[in-house]
Structure 1
Amino acid sequence: MDIQTLIDPYDTLLLDLDGVVYLGRNAVPKAPEALRRAAERGVRLAYVTNNASRTPGAIAQHLSALGAPATPDDVVTSAQAAARLVAERVGPGARVLVVGGMGVRTALRAHGLRPVSTALDAPVAVVQGIAPDLSYALLSEGVLAVRQGALFVAANADATMPTGRGELPGNGAMIRVIATATGVEPIVAGKPEPPLHRESMLRTGSRRPLVVGDRLDTDIEGAANAGVDSLLVLTGVATPLDLLTAAPRHRPTYIAGDLSALHFPYPEVRRGEGGWWTCEGWNARWDGDHLVLDGRGEPLDGLRVACAVTWEAVGEGCADEDAVKAALGSSFSPRT
């Protein structure tokens, strides 16, 4: 009998992009090869991104250039989720003010809506998504339209976005301008809120999806909200310390260094004797108010067993950083 790999139980990968498949213009190491192998096995790939700045066609072209199999139909964006959300609430041809880029405009047109750029057009809704050339003038138009009663929708609420130069301000930081100036909080379409997951399921028809991401507060929480399994890869935002101190809604089903883990058996974490848990060459237990971790071998196996012990010990709470830092620092580097 063949040994089951991590990917075997799933028919679709719902993949985040920034920090999972690429960082800026460059591919995350091993990601394109892992995705090609998954596609060859018949697993559907859906690239699900909170970034609303680019069109599905532009994203697919970028992915293809990096060696990852992708067509525009494989890309699901928060702009598409936001456009569907607006279209279900207003009539065809309705004017929608776009505080963002071409990704939002294209998604709105696909739903029969009319993108506009000024509050003078009396838009019934404002959709905000990140764009590199987002200006004060356009933010001001958004403020005026929301004050006139327009529905306020945010493509996502990510405070930051990872790039090859580091983390930059995300749409979550930018929506605070309109929200602060108007006192109106937006409806959020992107992860971890349900609209983007709904959009992904409608487009893929998946029955057994696996959500893959690098952020606990969007990708992993979104999977938890949808009741599906998740894989956290340590190639983007989240760190081992983030995992050990995670709240229940931020705890992934699986932890891996990168996407290549999809094609290997996932190491079993087992409960042992005397309060010890084991994973491959690692042992861990919770001793009073702190984590004890001992072993050698693949550092990720140490992180996996450390998370299992810590999450059981704190239950619905969150572990204190000081309670786990010593064990982390003595065993492996902050980013595995």
Structure 2
Amino acid sequence: MTSPLNPLLSTSGPLVSRHDVLLVDLDGVVYVGANPVRHAVEVLGQARSGGSRVGYVTNNARRTPEEVAAHLREFGLEVVDDDVVTSAQAGARLVASLVPVGSAVLAIGGPGVSAALIERGLRPVMTDSEAPQAVMQGYGPDVSWHDLAEGTYAVARGVPFIATNLDLSVPTPRGIAPGNGALVAVIVAVTGVTPLVAGKPESPLMLESIERLAAASPLVIGDRLDTDIEAGSRLGLPSLLVLTGVTGVADLVAAPAHQRPTYVSEDLRGLLEEQPLVEVLPGGAVQCRQARVRVGERGLDVEQGGTDPIDLLRAVAVACWTRADRGEEIDAHRVATDFAAVHAPLAR
């Protein structure tokens, strides 16, 4: 159920019961660094036991699906290799649509890049002197100046250029580091050629996942508005935003229409719960169960805080989106500050 101005949907039972396949992002959803996200293992195990297939969909092309699956099993998850779909696999499908089977393809990035090309009957090479007929670039921490130079030589010759993803940064134990998008930008800057992109928010990775996982009614699950949620939006797929990764209150309330999730939950436990109705009331207030708010020029006015901070956040988000859709300004940081005064732990 939803009102014309309200993009958040409600369910009459557990959210997971509405979907045959869960398309789950990894970093910030299943794990953060070397540690599983709280509740993730238990919830995904219950979803799988209840009949849902859990697919793990990642923009990171560094590792092969086998390596990713082995890592997830270390957390106690029941995962087979085919449950994992990477942007390298989606990128390799793009390459295979552009060059003949058996073609040499310059592979830049980690082992997952070459493995995906081989799976598609293509031959990964390391230098332009081997006459590659395409270039595929994915993330790898050991990518060097020489690798980028070889890619530049090949792209400058006019061969197809495919990037697995354009994430500008990657999290590391020491902080944020350059991601594949930053390295792709080097070749783009030198050659002036814009690559075809496979990863989220572009559609190839999601389409690859839907096909490989035989999804009829998938749910996209992620922690990033500009990749996971937008990827679902582009294909008209419902999405669940979890707040265990990078998205905070200010990000959510300022989200443009194409980056707004269908559902919001603190973590993956939202899959096992009924999603509540969020109503835009006559007069402009927005209510979600016991939480009722207004958003105006002076920021957030909490008329009723309710008992669940996520209900309050749902109401605040819809109030902000409704105001923005009318062309009225939103001070997202002020709203987040006002929210923090009520529920500080969520106001990141």
TM-score (norm 2): 0.91
| Distance (whole Å) between structure 2 residues aligned to residue 115 and residue 129 of structure 1 | 13
- Match for residue 114 of structure 1 among 123, 142, 149: 123
Q: Which amino acid aligns with 2:332?
A: E
Percent identical across equivalent pairs? Answer: 47
Aligned 8 A contact 1:17 1:49 in 2? yes
CA distance in 2, matches of 1:303, 1:161: 28
Amino acid corresponding to residue 301 of structure 1 in structure 2: D
Are residues 167 and 150 of structure 1, via their aligned partners in 2, closer, same or farther at CA, if it must alter by over 3 Å? same
In the TM superposition, residue 292 of structure 1 has moved relative to its aligned partner by: 2.2
CA offset digits 1:148-178 (Å, max 9, x no partner)? 2221110001112234554332211111111
- 1:307 correspondence with 2:279: no
> Which stretch of structure 1 is more off in the superposition, 288-297 or 258-267?
288-297
Counterpart selection for 1:78 from 76, 81, 87: 87
Question: Are the equivalent residues in 2 in contact too, given 1:248–1:316 (CA < 8 A)?
Answer: no
Q: Distance in 2 between matches of 1:112 and 1:218?
A: 29
Alignment match, 2:58: 49
The SS at the match of 2:241 is: strand
**Alpha-carbon contact 1:153-1:188 (below 8 Å) kept:** yes
> What does residue 319 of structure 1 align with?
330
Report whether the alignment pairs 1:249 with 2:258: yes
Q: Name the stretch that deviates more: 109-118 or 16-25.
A: 16-25
The question of 1:227 aligning with 2:269 is answered: no
Match of 1:328 in 2: 339
Could you give the per-residue CA deviations for residues 159-200 of structure 1, whole angstroms, max 9, x where no partner exists?
Answer: 122345543322111111111111111111001111111101
Distance across 2 between alignment mates of 1:129 and 1:216: 21
Q: Does 2:153 align with 1:139?
A: no
Note the aligned Cα RMSD (angstroms).
1.8
Output the amino acid matched with 1:241.
Answer: A
CA distance in 1: counterparts of 2:131 and 2:157, whole angstroms = 8
In the alignment of these two chains, the number of paired residues is 335
- Structure 1, residues 114-164: CA drift from partner, whole Å, max 9, x if none? 000001011111111111111111111111111122211100011122345
Structure 1 segments (4+ residues) deviating >6 Å:
none
Q: Distance in 1 between matches of 2:180 and 2:307?
A: 40
State the AA in 2 paired with 1:190.
G
Q: Give the gaps of 5 or more residues in structure 2.
A: 1-10
SS in 1 for 2:55: strand
Please name the residue that 2:200 is paired with.
191
**Contact 2:340–2:346 (8 Å) recurs in 1:** no
Contact 2:58 2:86 in 1 (8 A): yes
TM-score by length of 1: 0.95
**Residue number among 167, 175, 179 corresponding to 1:158 in the alignment:** 167
Give the whole-Å Cα distance in 1 for the aligned partners of 2:147 and 2:302: 52
Output one character per residue of 1:233-274: Cα deviation in whole Å (capped at 9) or x when no partner. 111111111000011011000111111211111222123353
The answer on 1:236 being equivalent to 2:236 is no
Which segments of 5 or more consecutive residues in structure 1 lack a partner in the other structure? none
Whether the 8 Å CA contact 1:97–1:119 is kept in 2: the answer is: yes
Q: How do 1:92-131 residues align onto structure 2 when only pairs under 5 Å count?
A: 92-131=101-140
Q: What letter corresponds to residue 331 of structure 1 in structure 2?
A: V
2:133–2:160 contact (8 Å) kept in structure 1 = yes
Deviation at 1:286, TM superposition (A): 2.8
Letter in 1 for 2:313: L
1:333 aligned counterpart, secondary structure? helix
Q: How far apart are residue 217 of structure 1 and its match?
A: 0.5
Whole-angstrom distance in 1 between the partners of 2:18 and 2:138: 34
In 1, the alpha carbon distance for the partners of 2:194 and 2:345 equals 36
Separation in structure 2 between the aligned mates of residue 169 and residue 175 of structure 1, nearest angstrom: 10
Partner in structure 2 of residue 19 of structure 1? 28
Q: Is the 8 A contact 1:239 1:334 kept in 2?
A: no
Equivalent residues of 1:162, 1:237 under 8 A apart = no
> How far has the Cα of 1:40 moved from its partner?
0.2
- Tell me by how many angstroms 1:28 deviates: 0.9
SS in 2 for 1:292: strand
The residue that corresponds to 1:298 in the other structure is: 308
CA contact (8 A) 1:213 1:219 kept: yes
Contact 1:18 1:163 in 2 (8 A): no
Q: Which deviates more, 301-310 or 261-270?
A: 261-270
Does the aligned pair in 1 maintain the 2:12–2:275 contact within 8 Å? no
